[in-house]
Amino acid sequence: VELAGWGDRRDPDQADRWRSTSHRMRSFADRLRHPDGVSPLFGDSTFDCLEMKSSRPLGNRSEWVGDYYVHRCAGDALIFDTGDMAADSLPAHAHADLLGFELSHAGERIFVDRGVFAYSGSARGEYRSSSSHNVLTIDSEELADVWSSFRMGRRGHVIDRDSECTQEGVWVAAAHDAYRFLGVPRVERYWFLSHEGPWFCWDFVKSSRGRTHLVTSRLWLAENLRMNQTPSGWRIAGE
């Protein structure tokens, strides 16, 4: 936006192109926001940039926003990341977070990504690791080999994604190949977002060697929430 203002006096055509690019960037960011008006914390994201908050109405919709699937209903929102961790040519700010998601209910964040709070040292590796995201891991192996502060070696890729709207709700699915080196060529995550009832999430692991694997699926709660065990299962409660 600042460049466009500078370019108006020197190259109006270029200024218009910059302004158009800025508009598309803002539109993309707006469509990913939670009901609280703030962006999710995928990758190297933080809450430090106050200008990222918006009060623009989001409305109810189900749509693909780039490689993200976003479903909104009243104050509920799912933001499902079905894209690769980064461009293979520039993985510096990537996290090992294939098929991660964030979710809000009644306007409040429930399941969150940890974002990033360090760019060096052991904390940097912790925040980039698979264990810091709402993802599934196999045999305690990372979805990607992240090292140093901005390096990434072995990594998986999203190999399939799809969605379908029905009378009962919305189906969304995606798959990745991060564990092919373990003989697991495909890990799938499915969502069913009922129009009138609850939302469901399933993970499927398909092994080509018939081996037994340790499968771990993590869920990160917003900092003001906790899990309570009840006779019928687990419930999320606030402070």
**What is the model's pTM?**
0.90
The pLDDT assigned to 232 comes to 87
Round to whole Å and give the CA distance between 132 and 144.
Answer: 13
pLDDT tens-digit readout, 94-103: 999 999 999 9
Asked if residue 16 has pLDDT above 90, the reply is yes
pLDDT tens-digit readout, 102-139: 999 999 999 999 888 888 888 888 999 999 999 999 99
φ/ψ of 121, rounded to 5, equals: 75, -175
